[in-house]
Amino acid sequence: MYKFLYLLILIVLLYGIWNGIHKNIALRPKTHTENCQVCQIVSAQEENIQEELARIDTPEYILHYIVDIIDHGSDTLGFKGGVMEGGYVSHEDARKIACYVLEMSGRKCPHPYPKDAAMFYTSVCGGCHGNDGKGLGGNYPDLTRKKLLGIERREAFLKTMLEKLRIKREEKNSAHIDR
């Protein structure tokens, strides 16, 4: 009988300890970052931007960027030659041209591409960018640059956004501390 009573007391004590530990965890005050939706959003945005900045110089990122420009065009760089229309070639051919452009800028394409990529480039892109890719005296973007102008501008934009988010986070943190 006493053994049963001791066992019952031991079970109640263990349950009390276990329950107390878990209630303390649940009741502990959350940090302002855990409670603040703005802080969580800013943190997620910072993380996304940092991930993109970490990839921005990779051949895969640049290839995707070039293919996107070939597929959809671009009007953001403001060259004298005007707007680049998109869709002159199929998406598959755009990938070939993008690999050729990567090699023009001194990078290796992340996947093999056919030798006719130079022909596609010359026939579709060479008229504006020049067969050498230098942009016909500044009228069009120079595709032989180590860092393409669009990528350079994207990187500057992302760094500016990251700095603005850092400032916003610091303002939010000081507002939480002042409370």
Q: Are 131 and 170 in contact (CB under 8 A)?
A: no
Question: What is the model's pLDDT at position 23?
Answer: 63
Phi, psi (5° rounding) for residue 12? -65, -45
Question: What is the model's pLDDT at position 155?
Answer: 97
C-alpha 67/C-alpha 72 separation (Å) is 8
Torsion sign, CA atoms 35, 37, 43, 44: positive
Q: Are 125 and 97 in contact (CB under 8 A)?
A: yes
C-alpha 92/C-alpha 111 separation (Å) is 13
C-alpha 42/C-alpha 12 separation (Å) is 45
List average pLDDT for each run of 10 residues in the chain, which is 179 residues long.
67 71 58 67 91 95 96 90 91 94 92 88 94 93 93 96 89 66
pTM of the model as a whole: 0.73
